Chains A and B, each alone.
Chain A
Amino acid sequence: MDIVVLVKQVPDTEALIQIAGDGVSIKTDNIKWVMNPYDEFAVEEALQIRDANEGTVTILTMGTDKAVETIRTALAMGADQGVLINDPAAEGSDGLAVAKILAAALKDIPYDLIIAGQRGVDDDGYQVGAAVAEYMGIPQASLVIKEEISDGKIKCDCSIEGGTVVTEAPLPVLFTTQRGLNEPRYASLPGIMKAKKKPLDQKTLADIGIDPSTVGLANRKVKIKALNPPPERKAVKMIEGETPEELAAALIKVLHEEAKVV
């Protein structure tokens, strides 16, 4: 079973995020970059499937030179090889263009299964996985919390509001991950050493046959108008009181007078 995992490098959720002077991007100088947490689930699931069925796990990402770190992390976890689409003309692409680029790269990589994070935690776009499946013309399952492969078919438990939907499709399939699918493994020290010697291909847009004038910042279909920081998290307020009645009364008072929700 050959599996491709679509991975994105994103700012760490604890990183200090500052909006840049242009108002539509963030300052990237002092940011710690990590693998998108939903992609960690994807890598872990791919490794588990490979270990049970043989085959290979290929990590595919689009990014700049520093995205190599994220591929190495996945290789250190146990993936077999990496492909990085690294081209200045691709920078600033929107979700659809990224999907187009990844789909073009996938034409050269054999696969039975593609796994992607449900979304990147930076842009929260939710588009790339689904759009890649459309470009490839293969079935897709979203927000998967459990999967089972047998007889060339995959059965996926997809989380939906208030429950799960069980879907089944013949391979090849693309599915996206949801929290709860697995507990991603840590990269081990010997794994990190081995990862340095694993194959990592870098390709340009020309290598995969993409016309640069159809992607990148200038050709976004979705334009960012402005970025604003979310409201500051307020400290937790502890309600004081001796008896449940007192506590309830104090809570109602706060909800009514301070939070103004009742």
Chain B
Amino acid sequence: MAQNREEMPLDVLFVGGGPANLAGAVHLMNLAKEKGLELEVGVIEKGDIIGAHSLSGAILDPIALKELVPDYMEKGCPIEETECRDEFYFFTKNSQYSVPFTPKYMHNKGCHIVSLSKFTRWLGELAENAGVNIFPGFAGTEVLYDSDTTGVLGVATGDKGVDKEGKQKSNFEPGIELTAKVTVFGEGPKGSLIRDIGEKMGIFSGKMPQVFETAIKEVIELPESSPFLSGDTTVIHSFGYPFGLHTKGGGFLYRMKDSMVALGLVVGLDYEDSGLEPYHAFLDYKKHPVIEEVIMGGKVLQQGAKTLSAGGYYTMPKLAVNGALFVGDSASMLNIQRLKGIHTAMKSGMLAAESIISAFEKDDYTVTTLSEYETKVEQSFIMKELKAARNFTQALSKHGVSQFVHVGAQFITGGRGIFDKMPIEEDSSTLEKMTPAQVKMLETPSAREFDGELYIDKLTGVYRSGTQHEEDQPCHLIVHDLNICAGECYDHYRNPCTRFCPGQVYEIEDSGGTRRLKLNPSNCLHCKTCEIKDPFKNITWTCPEGGGGPNFSIT
């Protein structure tokens, strides 16, 4: 541990203020009260307020919520639409085919449409009222281990008030060492601390690589007269266009309160086409007749992007180590088949809370007691769902007819499919080198029209995400070897970072044949696509100064 940092001891520390950890913190306080235990519990969150970095579709299966807050409706839980009435399409460029048979796992009966940002904010209020110390604006930047790295002691928060050069400014505020008997990591997909724990404690060893998808989402305000607002359908899912059969992904359109809709496009980050620009695909999706008809006359209120963990069962890390537990998306608990992860995340946090209570009762915080959490997850609906979907992401990665055969076989066999434990390829290794024809296409982009209202360019989108960072701080995106950018990456892939980043953080400056990567870290939407997809694994995402990043409020 560094010498000059103050230590602040807690009983339990939750790292990340998302649905997993907040549900866990609320459940922990409830259980502690029942047992007469007095616990000092803290939640740190890098966003400026709880919910500022929360973005999802989102269709919420309320199974865990009902357990946590049986009277959630009376308690003011922000629900956009109580009922999901689905339409499910296969899109071609100008047309659509209604999928006649909606698979069981795509049924959303009993589910609600929510804004994850609002929902998380509400959970944060519940936690605060239950006596949890909520610390938004504090990024965990370093895991604290015991001397032989066999256990986790807590997390250090990042220094604040450091300039571009790394020098202390007049308002320098050193980070704090938050120590706890148990630390729960719920950082969301591709957490930067769980990465470190993976390297030092091997929690991912023997597992398939974690894989991800990136979602770009907008909340659009429709004219009050829009027929979609009074129609029967509240949910439109689609696959196919704008992606070809070689790229997995799909679109969603959900009705919200106050004449708003949530519109999004998800792309699997195992895509192969180096020229693919997810943001452009999203614009194309918005122009599809089915979608355009709904959103016509609307105005984009908020935009954002985030990755989601898609690997599921075979990519889950070891869930407990001495002094720490891993929950939610950090532990690959999203069910990609159902396109849902809030319910599994919340449940995992709650199961973590139950195991933590056992640990306090036994006064033993080693993996011996904490592994009770692993057993509980194994016996819960989380594992039941994830097992049934264990080969799903792999099947979707297949091309053409093979994809349908694999998906169908899994449907019939309850997840086993044609052969079980289908391998997963790491997202960073799937890009194919550009052909001269692709390069030519890239150099002659088709013109796109933006009206600043319904159709907005990337930078306007960044503006609508409310993203802001302290400008005078060290760059939080570490590019390890700039020569790769100007050389090999340009030659083979034409710098895909300039396309897959939805915030236009990466640009290539070309002055008289000398190419140089230029970074705009202040645009960063914290989606982490860059670290996942870069074909050379040349980018490492670290937490910028706490409080920076998007300011989502209705996503």
Asked whether B160 lies within 8 Å of A15 as measured between CB atoms, the reply is: no
B538 at interface by CB-CB < 8 Å: no
User: Hey, what's the 0/1 contact readout for A4-16 against B, CB within 8 Å counting as 1?
Assistant: 0000000010111
Asked whether A30 lies within 8 Å of B553 as measured between CB atoms, the reply is: yes
**Alpha-carbon distance A58/B52, docked complex (angstroms):** 30
Asked whether B553 lies within 8 Å of A183 as measured between CB atoms, the reply is: no
B135 at interface by CB-CB < 8 Å: yes
> Separation in Å of the B354 CB from the closest CB of chain A?
27
Asked whether A183 lies within 8 Å of B48 as measured between CB atoms, the reply is: no
A262 at interface by CB-CB < 8 Å: no
> Separation in Å of the A64 CB from the closest CB of chain B?
16
Q: Which of A155-163, A188-196, A212-220, A243-251 contacts B (4 or more CB under 8 A)?
A: A188-196
Residue among A30, A32, A44, A190 with max Cβ neighbours from chain B (10 Å): A30
> Separation in Å of the A172 CB from the closest CB of chain B?
27
Asked whether A14 lies within 8 Å of B457 as measured between CB atoms, the reply is: no
Nearest B residue to A236 via CB reads B459
A186 at interface by CB-CB < 8 Å: yes
Asked whether B460 lies within 8 Å of A190 as measured between CB atoms, the reply is: no
User: Hey, what's the 0/1 contact readout for B197-241 against A, CB within 8 Å counting as 1?
Assistant: 000000000000000000000000000000000000000000000
Report chain B residues within 8 Å CB of A189.
Answer: 8, 135, 138, 157, 176, 178
**Alpha-carbon distance A31/B117, docked complex (angstroms):** 12
B421 at interface by CB-CB < 8 Å: no
Asked whether A193 lies within 8 Å of B8 as measured between CB atoms, the reply is: yes
Known A14-B468, A15-B466, A32-B49; judge A190-B176 contact (CB<8 A).
yes
Asked whether B133 lies within 8 Å of A193 as measured between CB atoms, the reply is: yes
Residues of chain B in range 121-171 having any CB-CB distance to chain A below 8 Å: 133, 135, 138, 157, 160-161, 169-171
**Alpha-carbon distance A70/B549, docked complex (angstroms):** 21
Nearest A residue to B48 via CB reads A32
B302 at interface by CB-CB < 8 Å: yes
Report chain A residues within 8 Å CB of B554.
Answer: 16, 30
Count, A-B residue pairs, CB within 8 A: 59
User: Hey, what's the 0/1 contact readout for A169-210 against B, CB within 8 Å counting as 1?
Assistant: 000000000000011111011101100000000000000000
Known A30-B118, A235-B460; judge A186-B553 contact (CB<8 A).
no
Asked whether A32 lies within 8 Å of B133 as measured between CB atoms, the reply is: no
Nearest B residue to A14 via CB reads B466
Asked whether B301 lies within 8 Å of A14 as measured between CB atoms, the reply is: no
> Separation in Å of the B72 CB from the closest CB of chain A?
19
Known A186-B171, A235-B459; judge A14-B551 contact (CB<8 A).
yes
Residue among A14, A183, A193 with max Cβ neighbours from chain B (10 Å): A14
**Alpha-carbon distance A185/B160, docked complex (angstroms):** 9
B173 at interface by CB-CB < 8 Å: yes
**A12, A185, A232: the one within 8 Å of B173 (CB):** A185
**Alpha-carbon distance A188/B8, docked complex (angstroms):** 11
B452 at interface by CB-CB < 8 Å: yes
Asked whether B463 lies within 8 Å of A186 as measured between CB atoms, the reply is: no
Asked whether B48 lies within 8 Å of A192 as measured between CB atoms, the reply is: no
Asked whether A18 lies within 8 Å of B301 as measured between CB atoms, the reply is: yes
**Alpha-carbon distance A30/B256, docked complex (angstroms):** 14
Known A193-B8, A235-B459; judge A15-B133 contact (CB<8 A).
no
A233 at interface by CB-CB < 8 Å: yes
> Separation in Å of the B473 CB from the closest CB of chain A?
12
Asked whether B551 lies within 8 Å of A12 as measured between CB atoms, the reply is: yes
Nearest B residue to A18 via CB reads B301
> Separation in Å of the A69 CB from the closest CB of chain B?
10
> Separation in Å of the B445 CB from the closest CB of chain A?
15
**B6, B8, B133, B463: the one within 8 Å of A233 (CB):** B463
Residues of chain B in range 452-476 having any CB-CB distance to chain A below 8 Å: 452, 457, 459-460, 463, 466-468
Nearest A residue to B173 via CB reads A186
Asked whether A188 lies within 8 Å of B49 as measured between CB atoms, the reply is: no
Report chain B residues within 8 Å CB of A232.
Answer: 452
Asked whether B171 lies within 8 Å of A183 as measured between CB atoms, the reply is: yes
**Alpha-carbon distance A188/B49, docked complex (angstroms):** 15
Report chain B residues within 8 Å CB of A190.
Answer: 6, 8, 176
Report chain A residues within 8 Å CB of B459.
Answer: 235
Residue among A12, A16, A31, A232 with max Cβ neighbours from chain B (10 Å): A16
**Alpha-carbon distance A154/B359, docked complex (angstroms):** 59
Residue among B176, B553, B554 with max Cβ neighbours from chain A (10 Å): B553
Known A186-B160, A188-B173, A193-B133; judge A32-B138 contact (CB<8 A).
no
Nearest A residue to B458 via CB reads A235
Residues of chain B in range 520-555 having any CB-CB distance to chain A below 8 Å: 551, 553-554
Report chain B residues within 8 Å CB of A32.
Answer: 48-49, 52, 551, 553
Using A12-B48, A30-B554, A32-B48 as known contacts, list a sample of 11 further A-B pairs with CB atoms less than 8 Å apart, ordered by residue number in A.
A14-B466, A14-B551, A15-B553, A16-B302, A32-B49, A182-B170, A183-B169, A185-B161, A186-B161, A188-B173, A193-B133
A-B contact pairs, 19 of them (CB 8 A): A12-B551, A14-B466, A14-B468, A14-B551, A15-B553, A16-B302, A16-B466, A18-B301, A30-B118, A30-B553, A32-B49, A32-B551, A185-B171, A186-B160, A188-B173, A189-B157, A189-B178, A190-B6, A190-B8
Closest 10 CB pairs of A and B: A14-B466, A30-B553, A186-B173, A183-B171, A186-B160, A189-B176, A185-B171, A183-B170, A14-B551, A14-B468
Question: Which residues of A pack against B, CB within 8 Å?
Answer: 12, 14-16, 18, 30-32, 44, 182-186, 188-190, 192-193, 232-233, 235
